[in-house]
Chains A and B, each alone.
Chain A
């Protein structure tokens, strides 16, 4: 069972470069989201989606872009990477829009030099 798959697991970028973190789930979940995890800060919501074609901002959306063209995929784009975006990123999905636990990917460690 694949669940939530994130790629890449590790990435090093230079300041100003752009990249896309991929997220795919095979559970037919309507709700998908992206979090970033920084030491001492817990997980903070970047963007989320309640279905194909619907996205919205979370707590820390600046510098990130998302789209949801299919139920399965929810990519996160860094438009112009900055050192402050060095973090571990998690994609998560849920079968219910407002209830139930989230299923997480394995995380992607991004370093911006």
Chain B
């Protein structure tokens, strides 16, 4: 079975500072994909960043970057220069296997202080 664990139910960051959200996962698949989704109060699910497991290079999207440690099965999200609009629920997710279903962690609620 595939699992995704987010050990930080809530995090807080000062505006313009950097914050890292943690995620660990478990899978027996050799080919899989990892994602971070953002869910603001509007409840829309927004893709933040994706990482293909076969790529060694960490993905980056503007102020968002990941630290992908394949051997440790760790996939953390770093948000640089935090903005008020970054306040949201963040979900780590894993997709792999023959069915291709997306498995989510329980989420981390990020608040940004002005």
Closest 4 pairs (CB-CB, A-B): A98-B100, A104-B45, A42-B106, A42-B104
Interface of B is mostly: loop
Bound Cα distance from A44 to B102, whole angstroms: 9
Interface-located stretch among B13-21, B62-70, B89-97: B89-97
Using a Cβ–Cβ cut-off of 8 Å, how many residues does chain B contribute to the interface with A?
A: 23
Whether the Cβ atoms of A92 and B102 lie closer than 8 Å is yes
Can you list 19 A-B pairs, Cβ within 8 angstroms, ordered by A?
A: A31-B100, A35-B104, A42-B107, A45-B102, A48-B99, A58-B101, A88-B43, A90-B45, A92-B45, A94-B100, A98-B96, A98-B97, A98-B99, A98-B100, A101-B47, A101-B50, A102-B102, A107-B43, A107-B45
- Other than A42-B91, A44-B104, A94-B100, give 9 A-B pairs with Cβ distance below 8 A: A33-B101, A42-B106, A45-B101, A48-B99, A56-B99, A98-B97, A99-B33, A106-B43, A107-B45
B residues in contact with A33, CB < 8 Å: 101-102
On A, residues with C-beta under 8 Å from B are 31, 33, 35, 40-45, 48, 50, 56, 58, 88, 90, 92, 94, 96-102, 104, 106-107
On B, residues with C-beta under 8 Å from A are 9, 31, 33, 35, 43-45, 47, 50, 91, 95-107
With known contacts A48-B99, A50-B99, A99-B33, A43–B104 Cβ distance under 8 A: yes
Whether the Cβ atoms of A42 and B100 lie closer than 8 Å is no
B78 to chain A, nearest CB (A): 19
Whether the Cβ atoms of A41 and B106 lie closer than 8 Å is yes
Query: Which of B44, B102, B106, B107 has the most C-beta atoms of chain A within 10 angstroms of its own C-beta?
Result: B102
Interface of A is mostly: strand
Bound Cα distance from A48 to B9, whole angstroms: 28
With known contacts A98-B95, A100-B33, A106-B44, A48–B107 Cβ distance under 8 A: no
Whether the Cβ atoms of A50 and B100 lie closer than 8 Å is yes
Whether the Cβ atoms of B100 and A40 lie closer than 8 Å is no
Cβ contact of A107, chosen from B44, B47, B100, B102, cutoff 8 A: B44
With known contacts A104-B44, A104-B45, A99–B102 Cβ distance under 8 A: no
